[in-house]
Amino acid sequence: MKYSGYAYIYTIGCQMNVYDSEKLGLILNSYGFERTDDVHKADIVVCNTCSIRHKAEEKAFSFLGRFAKIKKKKPGLIVVMAGCVAQQEGERAFVRLPYLDIVLGTQAFSRFGQHIDAIKSGQRRVVDTRDAPMIYEALPETACMDENKISRFVTIMQGCENFCTYCVVPYVRGRERSRTPEKIVQEIRLLAESGVKEVTLLGQNVNSYGQKEGEISFPELLFRVNDINGIQRIRFATSHPKDLSVDLMVAIRDLDKVCNHLHLPVQSGSNHILRKMNRGYTRETYLDRIFNLKKHCPDIALSTDIIVGFPSETREDFNDTLDLLREIEFDSLYAFAYSDRSSAPAARFPHQVDETEKRDRLNHLLEIQERYTEQKNTGLVGKTLDVLVEGTSEKKREGFDPVQEHMEQMTGRSESNKVVHFPSDQANIGDMIKIRIKNAYPHSLWGYPLELETK
C-alpha cells in the first residue's frame, strides 16, 4: 500500500545500524513516507536499536518511553522498535512499552512494509523475530540520496559465529552470511556514480567474508572494489585477529585505494582473560600478527577495542592489557567497561568485577592511551597528508592566521582516519587535497593546504 506522511528514524549503535537505518528509510519512502528530522511531525517513528551493552539497550527503552504520552495525543502514530533489542526481546518488549505497534527483529526488514499494512488495517500489534537467510538483497538498493555525502557504509556480511562469551551479536544477528561479490560491486558502482568517494565495508567479522560460501575471499573482494571507478578510498570494519591473513596484509599494502589503517580489536592483553572470552588467539599470536603486518605495511595506523573488568579479571590481567598498549602504541582505541548481557555466557561466570573498580580501570586505561594518541598525532606535525574533504567545521582553531580570516574552516580525514581541520576558500566536499600539518591536538590535527602555504 502507499501512504502519505512523515517518518522519523532514530539510530543507536554501530555503523551497521546506520546502514540498516538507511534501508529502513528507503522502505518507508517506497510506502509513501517522507523522512523528517522533527520527531513531532512524524506519523511513524522507528528506533533502530543496539543491545551490545546495557547502556545502549536502556537508551532505546528511554527513547521509546517518551511515546507513552505522545501516542495518547496522537493515537494514529505508528511506533516501531527495530534491530537488536527487538530481536532479543520479541513479545517481552510490550511489558515496558505496551503501546509499541511493531517489534521488527534484525532479519525481518523485508517484511516491514506488510507489517505497516497490518497495523494500518487495524491489527493491534506485530512481532517479527523470524530468521532470514540474507536480509540485504531483498531490500531496496542503496543509492546516494544525500548529495553531500561522499563517504558511505556498505554491509557485506551479516551475523557472527565466533561466540565470544561476552557478546550478544551471534544471538541477535544470527549466523554468518556473506553477500555475493556481484551484489556488493553493483551497489558500490551505484554509489560511485552518485558521487561517493569513500566506502567502508562492514561486517561483524569482515575479514572472514566469503569463508563459508567459498566464492571469493575478503582480500579478493578488496581487489574487485579497488577497480571501481570513482571510488578513491576503501575502509573496512571490524576485523578479527584470527582471520588476519598475509593475503590481507598484501592487499592493504598493494591496493592504492585501501587505507593504511586497521581496526583490530584485541579486547584484552591477558591470556587468561582471552581464553575466558573465547577469542581464539593468545596475546603472543596477536602481537605476532601485528609484527608481521608492520613488516608488510610499516606506517599502518592501528586502532583497537578493549573490554575492562571482564569477570575474573584481576589487577594483574589488567596490567597485561596496559603492557600490550605500551608495546603496540595504538593510534586510538575504544574502551568499554564489561557489561553483563543475559543471553551471553559470561553473565553466568563467577567473580564479577565491582562497578567502581571497572570505572577506575577504564579511566586509567584511557589516560594511558591518551598519551599515545597525542604522541602519534604530534609525530605528524610537519608531514603532508592526503585529506578527503568532508565538510566545513564550525570552530575556528586557535592560531587561525588572520590572512585566512575570510576563509572557511574545512574538515576531512587522513588515510589513517585522523580528523584534519584546515582553512580554505577553494576546497569542495569530496576533494582530495594535500595538507601540511602544523598543530596536533588530542583528537584532531590542524594544517594548511599546500597551495596556500606556498602563496
**Site residues (CB under 6 A) for ligand 5AD?**
52-53, 166-167, 265, 267, 305, 307, 336, 338-339, 341
424 binds ligand SF4 (CB under 6 A): no
160 binds, among ligand 5AD, ligand SF4, none (CB under 5 to 8 A by kind): ligand SF4
219 binds ligand SF4 (CB under 6 A): no
- Distance CA(437)–CA(446), nearest Å, equals 6
339 binds, among ligand 5AD, ligand SF4, none (CB under 5 to 8 A by kind): ligand 5AD
- Distance CA(411)–CA(389), nearest Å, equals 6
Question: Among 35-43, 55-63, 131-139, 159-167, which window interacts with ligand SF4 (CB under 6 A)?
Answer: 159-167
For ligand SF4, give the closer residue by CB, 172 or 365: 172
Which residue in 56, 169, 385, 427 binds ligand SF4 (CB under 6 A)?
169
- Distance CA(426)–CA(452), nearest Å, equals 10
240 binds, among ligand SF4, ligand 5AD, none (CB under 5 to 8 A by kind): ligand SF4
Q: What angle, 0 to 180 degrees and rounded to 10, lies between the N-to-C axes of helices 15-30 and 112-120?
A: 50
- Distance CA(359)–CA(365), nearest Å, equals 10
- CB of 323 vs ligand 5AD, minimal distance in Å: 19
- Distance CA(252)–CA(258), nearest Å, equals 6
160 binds ligand SF4 (CB under 6 A): yes
- CB of 134 vs ligand SF4, minimal distance in Å: 18
Question: Among 93-101, 162-170, 184-192, 390-398, which window interacts with ligand SF4 (CB under 6 A)?
Answer: 162-170
Phi-psi domain of 382 (left: phi exceeds 0; alpha: psi -120 through 50; beta: other): left
Which residue in 49, 155, 178, 205 binds ligand SF4 (CB under 6 A)?
205
Contacts 24+ apart (CB under 8 A), 123-130: 125/94, 125/100, 125/101, 126/101, 126/102, 127/90, 127/91, 127/93, 127/102, 127/103, 128/102, 128/103, 128/104, 129/86, 129/87, 129/90, 129/103, 129/105, 130/105
Residue 373: asked if its preceding bond is cis (omega within 30°), the reply is no
How many Å separate Cα 17 from the centre of its chain? 8
- Distance CA(417)–CA(402), nearest Å, equals 28
172 binds ligand SF4 (CB under 6 A): no
341 binds, among ligand SF4, ligand 5AD, none (CB under 5 to 8 A by kind): ligand 5AD
For ligand 5AD, give the closer residue by CB, 39 or 322: 322
Question: Among 163-171, 213-221, 324-332, 412-420, which window interacts with ligand SF4 (CB under 6 A)?
Answer: 163-171
Which amino acid, one-letter code, is at 219?
P
244 binds, among ligand SF4, ligand 5AD, none (CB under 5 to 8 A by kind): none
Which residue in 235, 240, 358, 418 binds ligand SF4 (CB under 6 A)?
240
For ligand SF4, give the closer residue by CB, 149 or 263: 263
Contact 102, 126 (CB under 8 A): yes
- Distance CA(438)–CA(378), nearest Å, equals 9
162 binds ligand SF4 (CB under 6 A): yes
Question: Exposed, middle or buried by CB within 10 Å (0-12, 13-18, 19+), for 316?
Answer: exposed
Which residues are near ligand SF4 by CB under 6 A? 160, 162-164, 167, 169-170, 204-205, 240
